[in-house]
Structure 1
């Protein structure tokens, strides 16, 4: 398989056509070897318009979804970013390639270990992977410039919003299968959240989120 041609096709025929036009995001998705983060048995599907199974009822988001997520965060470099749900590690690698310092939490130990191996193999710096439950992990208020949640929730947990600095952005998927909505929430100076709808999707539920404290607005 010609991975470079497949990567180019992914960018031009999928990601760009889904209104991902930020040149920095497109360059990062070209440079980070997505195939090295996909499970070996699905390596040839790394550039397909599919959610790739990772095991443990988790998936790797489609390239178009990851592209829209990265673009929505509008990272300039130097931001501190929290990722909830490391999964394959590919999105964390892209965040780091955009200049962020990434803390990534993964509740499934096997996925955390594999992501660490993939990040090391590719030579990505700037990502700390922790085997941890985001619903039980504590951070100080206003710790992060951005929070990315790679699984779905029925409602936005208040703790994720509290961890944002003023002006910070939260990417999250809210709703119930099969009708879920990817959102970008931005914390204003007054502490309120503005909401922008990005796209419709359907992702596995964030483990533990059904019983989490909920933030409604």
Structure 2
């Protein structure tokens, strides 16, 4: 029988801590949340690998290092409302739930959204709502949000998401340039977001997050 608890500890000790992630709430959450429960059964043995986990249809589960470093940069507080865009089977939302007041996960795949909500409830986590709908539209009825995290690659941040971030709020996205990507942290002031680079990472660009190609004759 696979000892997932040992694998979880090894993930934190070899992938998260060495990446300069030291905030206790992040370490504690990643030690507590059973990552293997938030992936398809056939993928459980690969749940703790140090790479993005393919979920099909161009979707991935972010590698532990990338998620942890994004959360470290965002520095979520216990009284904040967080929007988790592209939560897939709910792992990231479950982790963030240990740091935030309420998390709203957005998932476009209906079965993924259903499985995410069921797994989160079964894990006795009561401060996560999973919203089924297009990722680029977010979940405006629950906003505005103190923090937004996008669980996938971005070419352009949709205006609908920008509008759901509170003034003074933070957002983290993986901006892709071909095969290369960079996580950037955005701060919203006076209805405009200013970005600063955080670290390198990569992920497939999410549907609805691509820049429209200019028409050429």
- Distance in 2 separating the partners of 1:90 and 1:23: 18
Going from structure 1 to structure 2, the CA distance change for 1:138 and 1:10 (only over 3 Å counts) comes to closer
Q: CA deviation at 1:138?
A: 6.3
Q: How does 1:157-168 map to 2 (within 5 A)?
A: 157-168=158-169
Q: Secondary structure at the match of 1:75?
A: coil
Q: Secondary structure at the match of 2:113?
A: helix
- Distance in 2 separating the partners of 1:145 and 1:109: 26
The equivalent of 1:156 in structure 2 is: 157
The normalised TM-score by structure 2 is 0.89
The equivalent of 1:15 in structure 2 is: 16
The equivalent of 1:42 in structure 2 is: 43
Q: How does 1:1-217 map to 2 (within 5 A)?
A: 1-136=2-137, 139=140, 143-188=144-189, 190-210=190-210
Deviations 1:38-93 (CA, angstroms, capped at 9, x unpaired): 22112122111021122232111101011111111111212111111121201001
Going from structure 1 to structure 2, the CA distance change for 1:47 and 1:38 (only over 3 Å counts) comes to same
Quick check: 1:54–1:88 contact (8 Å CA) kept in 2?
A: no
- Distance in 1 separating the partners of 2:198 and 2:176: 13
Q: Which runs of 5+ in 1 are unaligned?
A: 213-217
Q: Secondary structure at the match of 1:123?
A: coil
The equivalent of 1:215 in structure 2 is: none
- Distance in 2 separating the partners of 1:138 and 1:68: 24
Quick check: 2:176–2:205 contact (8 Å CA) kept in 1?
A: no
Q: Secondary structure at the match of 1:83?
A: strand
Quick check: 1:178–1:202 contact (8 Å CA) kept in 2?
A: yes
- Distance in 2 separating the partners of 1:172 and 1:55: 21
- Distance in 2 separating the partners of 1:55 and 1:81: 26
Going from structure 1 to structure 2, the CA distance change for 1:84 and 1:169 (only over 3 Å counts) comes to same
- Distance in 1 separating the partners of 2:90 and 2:118: 9
Quick check: 1:75–1:100 contact (8 Å CA) kept in 2?
A: no
How many correspondences in the alignment? 211
- Distance in 2 separating the partners of 1:162 and 1:3: 40
- Distance in 2 separating the partners of 1:86 and 1:105: 6
Q: CA deviation at 1:18?
A: 0.8
- Distance in 2 separating the partners of 1:127 and 1:10: 24
Q: CA deviation at 1:21?
A: 0.9
- Distance in 2 separating the partners of 1:30 and 1:179: 30
Q: Secondary structure at the match of 1:210?
A: coil
The normalised TM-score by structure 1 is 0.89
